[in-house]
């Protein structure tokens, strides 16, 4: 009797897992393919373009190209911080660096492709909100730390690139393989979680948590994003299922900001660079911006 019940539930879970996987798998593959392509063939050009803005007198408006290039950069935070440290030693302004780093934390070309699985509206909201968050971070540093240094990059040096194979095809394939290794388990786990939610969590429960009371739902999503986010590819299947079950677009937008911004692997490096007080300010800024973004999104869309 128990075995029959267990067997039936496993069949249901496999069905939901297979359905979820088939709906999102190619976004993951194409995202990795494009991310590796940019990493191998365009990463140095993107960072060189960021370095070139240092020679221009754009003032605070340099925050805008810094955000754009931060989103275009394929590096994770551990790769971005050494790059930012190098630019800081060359005299790059802290507000531009803050905008570049914040945008780079929140979004990259690979994650943009992943997010397309959530639909054009969600993708647009994610790109716009991440860009604005980077701009807001740059402005906050500009006005609050005008005469004081914000970052402490002592001890951070630019890492050697993994993309060094003289054969371009092999260089690309190795990069793609590292992408699969880094995101594969998280992606499959995210698909499994979405299947578990589809099978065992009632739609009303998701709506009540993330959709029914809009302010409460946004706050819940912003809060849940802090401990739950481990990998962008892993959370896309879960977000997709939550939205099917009633999560508001504003709650999804809040989650997509606090999640990557408070990812555990990012926080350790950021705490070293920022120090305790500025690190606490960073966390507060992230949660507040995510909440306001979610509320505005629910009002406008």
pLDDT, tens digit (0-9, with 9 covering 90-100), for 160-195: 666 676 788 888 999 899 889 888 888 888 888 888
Q: How far apart are CA 97 and CA 63, in angstroms?
A: 8
Q: Give phi and psi for 9, each to the nearest 5.
A: -65, -40
In sequence order, what are the residues at sequence separation of 6 or more whose Cβ sits closer than 8 angstroms to the Cβ of residue 59?
none
In sequence order, what are the residues at sequence separation of 6 or more whose Cβ sits closer than 8 angstroms to the Cβ of residue 45?
none
> Rounded to a whole number, what is the largest CA-CA distance in the chain?
75
How much is the mean pLDDT over the chain? 86
Q: How far apart are CA 114 and CA 112, in angstroms?
A: 5
pLDDT, tens digit (0-9, with 9 covering 90-100), for 210-224: 876 678 888 888 888
Radius of gyration for the alpha carbons in the chain, expressed in angstroms and rounded? 20
Of 196, 222, 235, the C-alpha closest to 114 is 235
Q: How far apart are CA 134 and CA 129, in angstroms?
A: 9
Share of the chain above pLDDT 70, in %: 93
Q: Which of 63-67, 98-102, 144-148, 294-298 has the lowest mean pLDDT?
A: 144-148
Instruction: Tokens 């810094």: give the residue.
Output: 66
Name the token pair of 6: 């267990």
């Amino acid at each position: 009797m128990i075995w029959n019940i267990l067997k039936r539930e496993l069949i249901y879970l496999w069905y939901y897992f297979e359905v979820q996987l088939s709906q999102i798998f190619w976004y993951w593959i194409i995202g990795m393919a494009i991310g590796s392509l940019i990493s191998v063939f365009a990463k140095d050009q993107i960072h060189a373009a960021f370095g070139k803005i240092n020679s221009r007198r754009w003032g605070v408006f340099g925050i805008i190209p810094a955000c754009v290039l931060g989103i275009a950069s394929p590096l994770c935070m551990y790769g971005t911080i050494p790059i930012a440290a190098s630019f800081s030693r060359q005299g790059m302004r802290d507000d531009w660096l803050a905008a570049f780093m914040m945008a780079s934390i929140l979004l990259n070309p690979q994650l943009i492709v992943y997010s397309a699985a959530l639909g054009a509206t969600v993708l647009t909201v994610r790109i716009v909100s991440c860009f604005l968050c980077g701009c807001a971070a740059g402005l906050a540093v500009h006005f609050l730390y005008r005469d004081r240094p914000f970052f402490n990059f002592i001890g951070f040096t630019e890492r050697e690139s993994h993309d060094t194979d003289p054969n371009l095809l092999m260089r690309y394939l190795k990069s793609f393989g590292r992408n699969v290794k880094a995101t594969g388990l998280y992606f499959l786990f995210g698909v499994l979680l979405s299947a578990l939610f589809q099978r065992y969590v009632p739609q009303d429960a998701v709506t009540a948590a993330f959709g029914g009371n809009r302010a409460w739902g946004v706050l819940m999503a912003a809060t849940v994003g802090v401990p739950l986010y481990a990998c962008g590819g892993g959370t896309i299947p879960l977000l997709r299922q939550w939205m099917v079950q009633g999560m508001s677009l504003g709650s999804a937008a809040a989650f997509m900001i606090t999640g990557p911004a408070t990812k555990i692997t990012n926080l350790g490096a950021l705490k070293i660079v920022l120090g305790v007080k500025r690190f606490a300010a960073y966390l507060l800024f992230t949660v507040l911006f995510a909440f306001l973004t979610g509320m505005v999104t629910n009002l406008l869309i």
